Amino acid sequence: MNNPFDNPSFSMSALTAAINILPNNYGLMESMGLFPAKPVRFRSVVVEEKNGILTLLPTMPVGSPGTVGKRGKRKLRSFAIPHIPHDDVVLPEEVQGIRAFGSETEVQTVAAVMAEHLQTMRNKHAITLEHLRIGALKGIILDADGSELYNLFDLFDISPKVVNFQLSNAATDVKKKCLDLKRYLEKNLKGERMSGVHCLVSEEFFDALTSHDSVKAAYDRWQDGLALRSDLRSGFTFAGITFEEYSGEASDGDDNVHRFIAAGEGHAFPLGTVDTFATYFAPADFNETANTLGQPLYAKQEPRKFERGTDIHTQSNPLPMCHRPAVLVKVLAS
- The amino acid that residue 278 corresponds to is A
For the segment 146-166, what is each residue's pLDDT rounded down to a tens digit?
899 999 999 888 899 999 999
> Which DSSP category does 6 fall into?
G
Give φ, ψ of 279 to 5 degrees: -120, 115
| pLDDT class of 55 with cuts at 50, 70, 90 | very low
- pLDDT tier, 190 (very low <50, low <70, confident <90, very high otherwise): confident
Cα separation values, 281 from 42, 122, 134, 321, Å: 9, 16, 17, 11
Tell me, rounded to whole angstroms, the distance of Cα 278 from its chain centroid: 8
pLDDT(105) > 80: no
pLDDT at 53 exceeding the cut of 70: no
Q: Could you tell me the pLDDT band of residue 106, with boundaries at 50, 70 and 90? A: low
**pLDDT at position 54, please?**
42
pLDDT tens-digit map of 280-316: 999 999 999 998 999 999 999 999 988 888 999 999 9
Q: Which of 45-49, 219-223, 246-250, 309-313 has the lowest mean pLDDT?
A: 219-223
Q: What band does 229 get if pLDDT is binned at 50, 70 and 90?
A: very low
> Other C-beta atoms within 10 Å of 125: how many?
21
What sections of the chain are H helices per DSSP?
A: 12-21, 28-32, 92-95, 106-138, 152-155, 174-188, 203-210, 213-221, 226-229
DSSP string, 63-110: TPPPPPPPPPEEEEEEEEPP-EEEEEEE-HHHHTT---TT-SSHHHHH
**Beta strands 310-316 and 249-251: pairing type?**
unpaired
* Closest to 326 measured CA to CA, from 49, 70, 81: 49
Report d(CA 62, CA 290) in Å as an integer: 54
DSSP letters along 191-231, please? T---SEEEEEE-HHHHHHHHTSHHHHHHHHHTTTTHHHHS-
What is the pTM assigned to this prediction?
A: 0.86
% of the chain exceeding 70 in pLDDT: 84
In the predicted model, is pLDDT for residue 23 greater than 60?
A: yes
Angstrom distance (rounded) from CA 285 to CA 280: 16
Q: Which CATH number fits domain 4-49+76-332: 2.60.120.260, 3.40.50.10310, 3.90.1690.10, 3.30.540.10?
A: 3.90.1690.10
CA angle 118, 120, 124 (to 5 degrees): 110
Going from N- to C-terminal start, the domains of the chain cover 4-49+76-332
Q: How confident is the model at residue 99 (pLDDT cuts 50, 70, 90)?
A: low
pLDDT category at 319 given cuts 50, 70, 90 is very high
Average pLDDT, the chain: 85
Mean pLDDT of 190-218: 90
Residue 67 or 252, more confident: 252
Asked if pLDDT for residue 5 goes beyond 80, the answer is no
For residue 4, the model assigns a pLDDT of 66
